[in-house]
């Protein structure tokens, strides 16, 4: 066969593959929707009235779409809707607050002037202690704190973790958790205090050190195009993880980092350890560095090997190794 025949056949095979992939996605979505309807009927989840305050925002829109898939009746309340708040919030089974963190407490105060005592009040805020305390103090009915541990760019919430804080009247709130389980989210119960402590390590330290990495690159001013061209896929991925932070909303990251003064203490200790690491290097004794490295390895214990295997799997799945 001539070269042109190979390339014509290759094109044809690619077109068939594309068509099959599109059909596969179509069938997967249809199957998911049929399963949801069946599960909803079998678990007798009734259609509920839900308002998402901030429901046109990034995360709010996702939750509007997810709850609507289960047949619940959704409405949203945005800044221009406050003159109609009484009508929008009347008779709601669930009201979810999903506004920027710095407005959350004042919006809770506003919302609770209108909602009825039986209405479940919940929030999606990335911090939990202050919003949960505020909801409990302003509302007499059921209260549920939620924190979706993912960004708004996911297609659905299957296998995504949603942390929840049991605040008041959990029996009344059970259908909300059941709805999330139906959508195949993984629920993780946690107290608001433990949640915020864990987030200091998971989010605050991560975001701040990523911010510093970008801040440092900016000052050093290397040629980014050259760094990218010379990076293997895994280093490019690491650079992408830094760069992607700066393509997102700085207000959200500022709110998360500034949310709790204890975060600053943690970051100051981090900075001291950075300095201690430099002093270690300046001693010029590689053996000392290796010893510290081994001690951190020991601290990670079996998680170190587990993380190595898991990251290898992820990189392979993303065709990066």
Q: Do 145 and 167 touch, CB atoms closer than 8 A?
A: yes
Residue 277 engages ligand NAD in binding (rule: CB under 6 A): no
> Nearest 5°: phi and psi at 56?
-100, 0
- State the number of binding residues for ligand NAD (CB under 6 A): 24
Query: Site residues for ligand NAD, window 243-272 (CB under 6 A)?
Result: 252
Exposure string for 166-187, b = 16+ CB within 10 A, e = fewer? bbbeeebbebbbbbbebbebee
Residue 130 engages ligand NAD in binding (rule: CB under 6 A): no
Residue 107 engages ligand NAD in binding (rule: CB under 6 A): yes
Looking at the Cβ atoms of 211 and 289, the one nearer to ligand NAD is 211
3-state class percentages of the chain: helix first, strand second, coil last, to nearest 5: 65, 10, 25
Rounded Cα–Cα distance for residues 140 and 168 (Å): 9
Residue 116 engages ligand NAD in binding (rule: CB under 6 A): no
State the nearest-atom distance from the C-beta of 310 to ligand NAD, in Å: 23
Residue 78 engages ligand NAD in binding (rule: CB under 6 A): yes
Rounded Cα–Cα distance for residues 232 and 109 (Å): 51
State the nearest-atom distance from the C-beta of 275 to ligand NAD, in Å: 32
Residue 237 engages ligand NAD in binding (rule: CB under 6 A): no
Q: Do 56 and 76 touch, CB atoms closer than 8 A?
A: yes
Q: Do 50 and 72 touch, CB atoms closer than 8 A?
A: yes
Looking at the Cβ atoms of 49 and 58, the one nearer to ligand NAD is 58
State the nearest-atom distance from the C-beta of 248 to ligand NAD, in Å: 8
Residue 100 engages ligand NAD in binding (rule: CB under 6 A): yes
Q: Which two tokens stand for residue 211?
A: 């911010």
Looking at the Cβ atoms of 40 and 131, the one nearer to ligand NAD is 131
Interface residues toward ligand NAD, by CB under 6 A: 53-54, 56-60, 77-79, 98-101, 103-104, 107, 124-126, 148, 151-152, 252
């Amino acid at each position: 066969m001539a070269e042109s025949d190979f390339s014509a056949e290759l094109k044809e095979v690619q077109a068939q593959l594309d068509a099959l992939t599109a059909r596969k996605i179509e069938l997967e979505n249809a199957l998911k929707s049929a399963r949801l309807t069946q599960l909803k009927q079998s678990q007798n989840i009734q259609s509920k009235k839900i308002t998402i305050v901030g429901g046109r925002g990034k995360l709010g829109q996702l939750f509007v779409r997810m709850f609507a898939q289960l047949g619940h009746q959704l409405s949203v309340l945005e800044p221009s809707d406050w003159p109609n708040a009484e009508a929008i919030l009347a008779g709601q089974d669930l009201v979810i607050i999903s506004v920027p963190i710095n407005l959350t407490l004042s919006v809770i105060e506003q919302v609770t002037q209108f909602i009825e005592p039986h209405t479940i009040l919940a929030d999606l805020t990335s911090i939990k202690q202050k919003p949960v305390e505020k909801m409990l103090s302003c509302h007499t009915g059921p209260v549920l704190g939620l924190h979706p541990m993912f960004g708004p760019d996911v297609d659905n919430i299957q296998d995504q973790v949603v942390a929840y804080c049991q605040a008041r009247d959990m029996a009344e709130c059970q259908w909300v958790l059941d709805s999330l389980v139906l959508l195949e989210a993984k629920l993780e119960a946690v107290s608001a205090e433990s949640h915020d402590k864990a987030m200091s390590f998971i989010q605050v330290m991560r975001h701040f050190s990523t911010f510093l990495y970008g801040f440092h690159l900016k000052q050093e001013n290397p040629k980014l195009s050259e760094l990218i061209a010379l990076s293997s896929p895994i280093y490019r991925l690491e650079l992408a993880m830094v760069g992607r932070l700066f393509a997102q909303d700085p207000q959200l990251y500022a709110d998360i980092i500034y949310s709790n003064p204890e975060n600053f203490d943690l970051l100051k200790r981090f900075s001291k350890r950075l300095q201690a690491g430099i002093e270690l290097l300046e001693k010029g004794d590689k053996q000392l560095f290796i010893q510290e490295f081994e001690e951190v390895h020991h601290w990670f214990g079996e998680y170190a090997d587990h993380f190595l295997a898991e990251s290898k799997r992820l990189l392979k799945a993303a065709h990066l190794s």
